[in-house]
A and B are shown apart, each in its own frame.
Chain A
Amino acid sequence: MKIEGTYTIAAPRELVYHTLRDPQALQECIPGCQELTLQADGRYLAKLQVGIAAVKGTFTGHVQITDEQPPSSYRLHVDGSGGPGFAQGEVMITLSDIEDGTRVDVAGEGQVGGMIAAVGQRVLMPATRSLMNQFFGRMQSKIEALARQ
């Protein structure tokens, strides 16, 4: 499954980059995120409560950030599994300056398996998009509020 999206945030690129990398901000903005703890190996241990179509449940997994090019881009790896099956994905997040702030491009691939794949396939794309929109919507509010401070 392709994951793609473009968002604009009215804030300087450095602030956007920093906040998008900040564990506290991530935990607050990732929909259903109950825990996000940095581990010794540099990965974050995450616990997410997610519902797609009729499938709801808790995922436990890891979030890892690699290929960091501050304040321009990084690669985000997510994998998780739980009662509803598993999900994994890898996206490139690229930031660029635009007239009134920062443009964020998200592009990558995701896979799901188990019950989510069996039941939610038809709604998976819109559900993923909706989760992403929620995430960036929250990030946008947070970052723009910080920028105004």
Chain B
Amino acid sequence: MAVSRIFGAAVKRREDPRLITGRATYTDDVQLANLAYVAFVRSPHAHARIRRIDTSRARGAPGVVAVVTGQDLEGKVAGIPTAWLIPNSDLKTPKHPALAVDTVRYVGDAVAAVVAESRAAAADAAALVDVEYEVLPAIVDQEKATQPGAPQLHPDVPNNIAFRWKVAGGDIDAAFRNAEVTVKQRLINQRLIPNPMETRQVVAQYNAGTGDLTVTMTSQNPHIHRFLLSVILGLPEHRIRVVAPEVGGGFGSKIHCYPEEAVLSYLAMQLGRPMKWSEDRRENYQATIHGRDHIVDLEVAAKRDGTILGLRGRCYASLGAYLSTASPGIPTILHGLMMTGCYKIPALDYEVLGVFTNTTPTDAYRGAGRPEATYAVERMVDLLAAELKMDPVDIRRKNFIPKEAFPYTVASGVTYDSGNYEAALDKALEIVNYRQFRAEQAAARAQGRYLGIGFSTYVEICGLGPSAVAGAVGFQGGLWESAVVRLHPSGKATVFTGSSPHGQGEETTFAQIVAEELGLPIDDVEVVHGDTARIPMGWGTYGSRTTAVGGTAMVLAARKVKEKARVIAAHLLEVSPEDLDFVNGRFQVKGVPERSKTIQDIALQANLAWNLPKGMEPGLEESSFFDPSNFVYPFGTHIAVVEVDPGTGAVKLLRYVAVDDCGPVINPKIVDGQVHGGVAQGVAQALWEQAVYSADGQLLTGSLMDYAIPTAQSLPSIETARTETPSPVNPLGLKGIGETGTIASTPAVVNAVVDALAPLGVRHIDMPLTPEKIWRLLPTA
């Protein structure tokens, strides 16, 4: 095909005009006649028995319609399920009632719901629900939670251990027997709060006449939410419509199935009125999932020349108080399988304990397991380099999986599709001018200034994924994706995706894909998503799957349309289909280009059906259900350059270079945007963000006053570049780019700060690298 101007072009995001001019419709913008408002009463205790709930004062408050407690829902609203039943583990799935019935297990656990005529009346009345608690001892540290005598969260989960899961490959004992050097380190991957701009919102509407329930909600995957709501409410799936209108970001936090949408649906059905709930930011901090929160002990075995022989260790992953929708799979499948990173480490032995604690449940947050794995392996490689007094670049080169080795099966058993790790590293080194930096660093050190450089040569698993593998690893769903491409009589196209973009820009990139394939003007392609009544069955947006899997379904559906159009064009032009070239939206007879039919001509003829080839069905609409043969494994090199202020311990990020390889780029502007946002979140984890609980389970970072998310002034201009190594697992060679920024950036920054402070004998600092933490390591302190 000729070089295209649409695929690969930096087309401006078509989503943005409506977003930045306030014309987008979010769930909270939905207004319905007779709407009632719901507020939840949440536990102020991390762990307590509910002795008594007195709702009488709340019921008597002005504007109150109803108050329900956990007991009222028993037998009517089933528990909140988990959807990832990891195999080869002893996973326990304790009950998770939508509203707590007899015990609360984290601050924010909902115990009652108040329905009122206004949001304010509901909030005021919620404060009047009298709950008498018997406070129980709480545990927030996941390692201590497994020890004898620790407070127990669930009666059927001894030592709070939800599961033990292990990944092993190669001969780990031999690796450590043959080691000339070993390095051990404990790494804390602190708990984070996702912070999408829009918090969670639900509007539930039930039509008793038709029996139809419509739930408008902040969802990354409307079909998954529809299925789970059907299970929880006992309502047939085809009677439920889930609509995700404009969704203001999710970062994973809107994948999951939460109590609120089930309770609102129940209330709408019971009370015969539409219900709205609008989560506020403080509520979001307690009631919406958190991410990360691993305590990892690792040991690496190597030879003196830097050859890594093996990696072993154990992870305590805090799951919070209950299993969330995907939480068992995050610290295992999406984490443990990636522990050897981009290196040919022949032996791996890694155990993960999923542990219940009296905290908000954790689950997938941008990167979901892979940032933790990348941080672990990239820190260990730097620690090993320091031990061997090797350059961090040299040790990486020495252990990279070579580009000729792909597809390459790592010790964990997963097979990386394609890669060229040295090319990305070389490009990044060139951009940062490594040699010159080391000279500047030495000069600065002589003046008492602490400059540092940090590398992260990452690889990640995304483009979730092959459905058979999803089944094999216990995910209770498929991971294929769907698309429908429909050409209208006028030649305009509406295309439908089963994925559910919520800020990533696929309305633009998918239009580019279809415009490219069919030679249509991009403005003639409308992308529809996020409504189970309009779109085909699909699995949604997460795991950087939308483009690699959903985009592939889109291209395959468009190609089916093109092939049908070619047959119609050949019929009308009285030639055989293979005698036609397709150039810029026009089928033209080879050698006689003036004899041609445009795709718009064909769309009209297909829809009129006055003169179609014998036996051909009318219309020009095709669908595709694409199930990939493997995951995709984007990779790259990120480099952070920092200066540490010896007076205050503050870290200044001087430069950030991101060289990523996501295969062919559909839209470089959008890829840059994804990298920028991801890097901002990863840098923020390295330097600022941390969800802090007191020992008795109070969330101390309970608002944006105390939880430090980055602002524009926190970051330098990020320097992006790319290499291009296509994936063999989809026809366009696409890999995901939605999470690489958060996956790559934390170790780059921490490695840079440790490099800066190495002259002081600093070997490791746990994130976030706050000024205070660093200041205490400085000689002046």
Please give the residue numbers on chain A whose beta carbons come within 8 Å of chain B beta carbons, in ascending order: 57-58, 60, 81-86, 111-115, 117-119, 121-122
Q: A113-B44, A115-B282 are in contact. List 16 more A-B contacts (CB 8 A).
A: A58-B127, A60-B130, A81-B44, A85-B44, A86-B44, A111-B696, A113-B698, A114-B43, A114-B45, A115-B702, A117-B107, A117-B699, A118-B107, A118-B286, A118-B703, A119-B705
In the complex, per-residue mask of B234-275: 1 if CB is within 8 Å of any chain A CB, else 0: 000000000000000000000000000000000000000000
* Contact present for B705 and A83 (CB under 8 Å): no
Residues of chain A within 8 A (CB-CB) of B576 are none
* Contact present for A122 and B107 (CB under 8 Å): no
A and B contact pairs by CB, cutoff 8 A, 22 listed: A58-B127, A60-B130, A81-B44, A81-B131, A81-B133, A83-B126, A83-B127, A84-B127, A113-B46, A114-B43, A114-B44, A114-B45, A115-B44, A115-B702, A117-B698, A117-B700, A118-B285, A118-B700, A118-B702, A119-B282, A119-B702, A121-B706
* Contact present for A57 and B44 (CB under 8 Å): no
**Interface flag for B694 (CB, 8 Å):** yes
Please give the residue numbers on chain B whose beta carbons come within 8 Å of chain A beta carbons, in ascending order: 42-46, 107, 126-128, 130-131, 133, 282, 285-286, 694, 696, 698-700, 702-703, 705-706
Residues of chain B within 8 A (CB-CB) of A60 are 130
Residues of chain A within 8 A (CB-CB) of B694 are 117
* Contact present for A117 and B126 (CB under 8 Å): no
Residues of chain B within 8 A (CB-CB) of A85 are 44
**A113-B44, A113-B107 known; A118 vs B127 contact (CB < 8 Å):** no
Measured CA separation A18–B46 after assembly (Å): 38
Measured CA separation A101–B285 after assembly (Å): 50
Q: Name the CB-closest residue of B to A81.
A: B44
Residues of chain A within 8 A (CB-CB) of B130 are 60
CB of B700, distance to nearest CB on chain A (Å): 5
Measured CA separation A43–B716 after assembly (Å): 60
Q: Name the CB-closest residue of B to A86.
A: B44
Measured CA separation A19–B285 after assembly (Å): 44
Most buried by A among B131, B700, B703: B703
* Contact present for B702 and A121 (CB under 8 Å): yes
A-B pairs, top 4 by smallest CB distance, nearest first, are A118-B702, A114-B44, A83-B127, A117-B698
* Contact present for A122 and B705 (CB under 8 Å): yes
Number of A-B contacts (CB under 8 A): 56
Q: Name the CB-closest residue of A to B129.
A: A83
Measured CA separation A120–B286 after assembly (Å): 15
Measured CA separation A119–B107 after assembly (Å): 13
* Contact present for B703 and A119 (CB under 8 Å): yes
* Contact present for A118 and B45 (CB under 8 Å): no
* Contact present for A122 and B706 (CB under 8 Å): yes
CB of A53, distance to nearest CB on chain B (Å): 8
Most buried by A among B46, B126, B282: B282
CB of A20, distance to nearest CB on chain B (Å): 28
* Contact present for B706 and A113 (CB under 8 Å): no
Residues of chain A within 8 A (CB-CB) of B699 are 117-118
**A82-B127, A86-B44 known; A114 vs B703 contact (CB < 8 Å):** no
CB of A57, distance to nearest CB on chain B (Å): 6
Measured CA separation A81–B129 after assembly (Å): 11
CB of A82, distance to nearest CB on chain B (Å): 7
Measured CA separation A85–B286 after assembly (Å): 13
Q: Name the CB-closest residue of B to A120.
A: B702
Measured CA separation A86–B133 after assembly (Å): 11
**A57-B127, A113-B107 known; A121 vs B700 contact (CB < 8 Å):** yes
CB of B131, distance to nearest CB on chain A (Å): 8
Measured CA separation A122–B698 after assembly (Å): 13
Measured CA separation A121–B696 after assembly (Å): 14
* Contact present for A117 and B702 (CB under 8 Å): yes
Residues of chain A within 8 A (CB-CB) of B128 are 83
Residues of chain A within 8 A (CB-CB) of B43 are 114
Residues of chain A within 8 A (CB-CB) of B42 are 114
* Contact present for A118 and B282 (CB under 8 Å): yes
Q: Name the CB-closest residue of B to A85.
A: B44
Q: Name the CB-closest residue of A to B126.
A: A83
* Contact present for B126 and A114 (CB under 8 Å): no
CB of B693, distance to nearest CB on chain A (Å): 10
Measured CA separation A74–B696 after assembly (Å): 27
Most buried by B among A58, A111, A115: A115
Residues of chain A within 8 A (CB-CB) of B285 are 118
Residues of chain A within 8 A (CB-CB) of B698 are 112-113, 117-118, 121
Measured CA separation A137–B19 after assembly (Å): 54
Residues of chain A within 8 A (CB-CB) of B705 are 119, 122
Residues of chain B within 8 A (CB-CB) of A122 are 705-706
CB of B135, distance to nearest CB on chain A (Å): 9
Measured CA separation A84–B126 after assembly (Å): 11
CB of B46, distance to nearest CB on chain A (Å): 8
Measured CA separation A85–B696 after assembly (Å): 14
Measured CA separation A114–B128 after assembly (Å): 15
Q: Name the CB-closest residue of B to A118.
A: B702
Q: Name the CB-closest residue of B to A1.
A: B694
CB of B626, distance to nearest CB on chain A (Å): 44
Residues of chain B within 8 A (CB-CB) of A57 are 127
Residues of chain B within 8 A (CB-CB) of A121 are 698, 700, 702, 706
Residues of chain A within 8 A (CB-CB) of B702 are 115, 117-119, 121
Measured CA separation A58–B130 after assembly (Å): 12
Most buried by A among B44, B130, B699: B44
CB of B123, distance to nearest CB on chain A (Å): 9
Measured CA separation A24–B705 after assembly (Å): 39
Q: Name the CB-closest residue of B to A87.
A: B44
Q: CB within 8 A of B45: which of A83, A113, A115, A119?
A: A113
Residues of chain B within 8 A (CB-CB) of A58 are 127
CB of A124, distance to nearest CB on chain B (Å): 10
CB of A123, distance to nearest CB on chain B (Å): 9
Q: CB within 8 A of B107: which of A81, A82, A114?
A: A114
Measured CA separation A110–B694 after assembly (Å): 13
Q: Name the CB-closest residue of A to B45.
A: A113
CB of B137, distance to nearest CB on chain A (Å): 13
CB of A88, distance to nearest CB on chain B (Å): 9
Residues of chain B within 8 A (CB-CB) of A119 are 282, 702-703, 705
Q: Name the CB-closest residue of A to B128.
A: A83
Measured CA separation A126–B133 after assembly (Å): 28
CB of A39, distance to nearest CB on chain B (Å): 16
Measured CA separation A117–B693 after assembly (Å): 10
Residues of chain A within 8 A (CB-CB) of B706 are 121-122
Measured CA separation A82–B703 after assembly (Å): 20
Measured CA separation A128–B777 after assembly (Å): 33
Measured CA separation A40–B679 after assembly (Å): 62
Residues of chain A within 8 A (CB-CB) of B696 are 111, 113
Residues of chain A within 8 A (CB-CB) of B286 are 118
Measured CA separation A121–B107 after assembly (Å): 15
Residues of chain B within 8 A (CB-CB) of A118 are 107, 282, 285-286, 698-700, 702-703
Measured CA separation A57–B128 after assembly (Å): 11
Q: Name the CB-closest residue of B to A82.
A: B127
Measured CA separation A85–B702 after assembly (Å): 13
Residues of chain B within 8 A (CB-CB) of A82 are 127
CB of A81, distance to nearest CB on chain B (Å): 7
Measured CA separation A135–B702 after assembly (Å): 28
Residues of chain B within 8 A (CB-CB) of A112 are 698
Measured CA separation A121–B43 after assembly (Å): 17
CB of B333, distance to nearest CB on chain A (Å): 33
Measured CA separation A122–B703 after assembly (Å): 11
Q: Name the CB-closest residue of B to A88.
A: B135
Measured CA separation A33–B320 after assembly (Å): 38
CB of A116, distance to nearest CB on chain B (Å): 8
CB of B503, distance to nearest CB on chain A (Å): 27
Measured CA separation A121–B45 after assembly (Å): 15
Measured CA separation A84–B131 after assembly (Å): 13
Measured CA separation A86–B282 after assembly (Å): 16
Residues of chain A within 8 A (CB-CB) of B703 are 118-119
Most buried by A among B131, B282, B702: B702
Q: Name the CB-closest residue of A to B124.
A: A83
Measured CA separation A84–B700 after assembly (Å): 15
